Amino acid sequence: MLNIEQDKSLVNFNTFGFDAIAQSYLAVTSKAELTQAMAYIAQQGLAYQVLSGGSNLLISKYVAGLTLHMQIKGVSVVDENDEHVFVEVGAGENWHEFVEFCVSKEWQGIENLALIPGLVGASPVQNIGAYGVEIKDVLVSLKAYDFEQSRYVELVNQQCGFGYRDSLFKHTQGRYLITAVTFKLNKQPTINVKYKALQDYIDKTVKKEISIQDVFDAVCAVRASKLPDPSVIANAGSFFKNPCVTQQQFDQLLLEEPNIVGYSVANNEVKLAAGWLIDQCGWKGFSEKGVGVYEKQALVLIHTGGATIDDLLDLARKIQQSVFDRFAVQLEIEPQPFPLLANSQI
Ligand SMILES: Cc1cc2nc3c(=O)[nH]c(=O)nc-3n(C[C@H](O)[C@H](O)[C@H](O)COP(=O)(O)OP(=O)(O)OC[C@H]3O[C@@H](n4cnc5c(N)ncnc54)[C@H](O)[C@@H]3O)c2cc1C
């Protein structure tokens, strides 16, 4: 018997802390429960959506249909050799706790991704990344329920369509519900501290050979100094993606804005720092109607209380317009609408 709750408040399940009501809600704690839920959804012709840690969402005030809150746990070593360990992790495991666990085992590969909020099952959705590492670098495969084929499937890394803060899962309108992810981690550490802020912190604090634990500690310290803790100031991390322009556009921008921040990526493109663009337009520290721009990092929009998602989107539009007017660059919003439109219209 499924324990489906009606008219459930999601205010504590989204890090922006917006009031939202789910028409129906189910905490999914096992694959058996999920299979039962799938049969129920098909039988009732319901709309559905998948919720994990709620740290990357633009949540609607009313979420129609059934909200499946992923809580399937489990961490197991499925294979290993002298160099690598292969670990399968349930979608409902907390991401940061899993990173901590790997660091304690001296398994290297994800310590640069410490302190990213959310659950393991959502990590491939936007190919989470920080400090020079992305989930695609360590993900071997994942297990998912495919709503289109009405069966469980396994996708290997190359089938996931990973890009910058992007994957197949953002373009298939909720077709796949990820239940577990398998990672390949190194037993022979290769330390990655290419990012200046990390390197600076380590230079100051570590006087011996750098360990995985040192990198983890540096990432946690640097992040804590720049990003607001969602349990203190409601936010969803970076609100906009760093935009890419052509090298030609970048050269033109450089003529007008000699201090513009950008670095070359593939396909003759240059990635710009969205936070810098927003900061130049004077938004850092701005606030109105209970929403605002974080005073230490212009890329982070915050909810200080009493606002609605519409207030936040109004502010986002104003920021996008001012950046476009000054730099002719369109900023794209990173958090996902919840529910996804196509899905909720089923
Ligand atoms: C303070 C802060 C800092 C952050 N820093 C970073 C950062 O450095 N790098 C980065 O990449 N992100 C960052 N984020 C964004 C966010 O933490 C990540 O995107 C995270 O992976 C979202 O996980 P979640 O469990 O909260 O997902 P949710 O917000 O619950 O869901 C996000 C999307 O994934 C879908 N989804 C969730 N679970 C599943 C599943 N099991 N199967 C299929 N679809 C699913 C949802 O339907 C939704 O569309 C940050 C957020 C905050 C608040």
Same domain, 40 and 97: no
What is residue 122's predicted lDDT score, i.e. its pLDDT? Answer: 98
Does the pLDDT at position 343 exceed 50?
no
Same domain, 108 and 174: yes
Report the C-alpha gap between 211 and 61 in whole angstroms: 45
Same domain, 108 and 150: yes
Domain assignment present for residue 140? The answer is yes
Place 59 in a pLDDT band, splitting at 50, 70 and 90.
very high
Same domain, 179 and 80: yes
Domain assignment present for residue 214? The answer is no
> What are 59's two structure tokens?
């949540």
Does the pLDDT at position 188 exceed 90?
no
Instruction: Read off the pLDDT of residues 220-271 as tens digits, 9 standing for 90 and up.
Output: 999 999 899 999 999 999 999 999 999 999 999 999 999 998 888 878 899 9
CATH number of the domain that 168 lies in? 3.30.465.10
Does the pLDDT at position 135 exceed 60?
yes
Domain assignment present for residue 302? The answer is yes
Report the C-alpha gap between 234 and 232 in whole angstroms: 6
Domain assignment present for residue 206? The answer is no
Report the C-alpha gap between 248 and 235 in whole angstroms: 35
Range of the domain at 238: 234-338
Question: Could you say which of 71, 98, 122 is where a domain stops?
Answer: 71
**Of these residues, 60, 141, 238, 344, which one is catalytic?**
238
Picking from 202, 184, 155, 150, the residue whose alpha carbon sits closest to that of residue 79 is 184
**Lookup result for tokens 């003759």:** 268
Same domain, 249 and 332: yes
Number of domains observed in the structure of the chain: 3
Helix H or strand E segment including 236? strand 234-238
Query: Is there an atom of ligand 1 within 6 Å of 53 CB?
Result: yes
Residue 33 falls in the annotated catalytic set: no
Does the pLDDT at position 346 exceed 70?
no
Report the C-alpha gap between 186 and 133 in whole angstroms: 14
Domain assignment present for residue 50? The answer is yes
Instruction: Read off the pLDDT of residues 95-104 as tens digits, 9 standing for 90 and up.
Output: 999 999 999 9
Same domain, 48 and 81: no
Domain assignment present for residue 227? The answer is no
Same domain, 63 and 88: no
Query: Which residue's alpha carbon is at the smallest distance from atom 14 of ligand 1?
Result: 237
Query: Is there an atom of ligand 1 within 6 Å of 141 CB?
Result: no
Same domain, 90 and 180: yes
CATH number of the domain that 18 lies in? 3.30.43.10
Query: Which residue's alpha carbon is at the smallest distance from atom 53 of ligand 1?
Result: 236
- Given the DSSP bridges, would you call strands 5-9 and 244-246 parallel, antiparallel or unpaired? unpaired
DSSP characters for 151-214? EEEEEEGGGG--BTTB-GGGTTTT-EEEEEEEEEEESS------SHHHHHHHHHH--SSPPHHH
Question: Is residue 338 within 8 Å of residue 69, measured between CB atoms?
Answer: no
Query: Is there an atom of ligand 1 within 6 Å of 123 CB?
Result: yes
Question: Is residue 326 within 8 Å of residue 281, measured between CB atoms?
Answer: yes
- Residues whose CB is less than 8 angstroms from the CB of residue 159 and which lie 6 or more positions away in sequence, other chains included: 168
Ligand 1 centroid–CA 255 distance in Å is 37
Please indicate, yes or no, whether the overall pTM of this predicted structure exceeds 0.85: yes
Question: Could you say which of 71, 93, 118 is where a domain stops?
Answer: 71
Question: Could you say which of 29, 46, 71 is where a domain stops?
Answer: 71
What is residue 120's predicted lDDT score, i.e. its pLDDT? Answer: 98
CATH number of the domain that 273 lies in? 3.90.78.10
What is residue 341's predicted lDDT score, i.e. its pLDDT? Answer: 60
Report the C-alpha gap between 62 and 55 in whole angstroms: 18
Domain assignment present for residue 133? The answer is yes
Domain assignment present for residue 61? The answer is yes
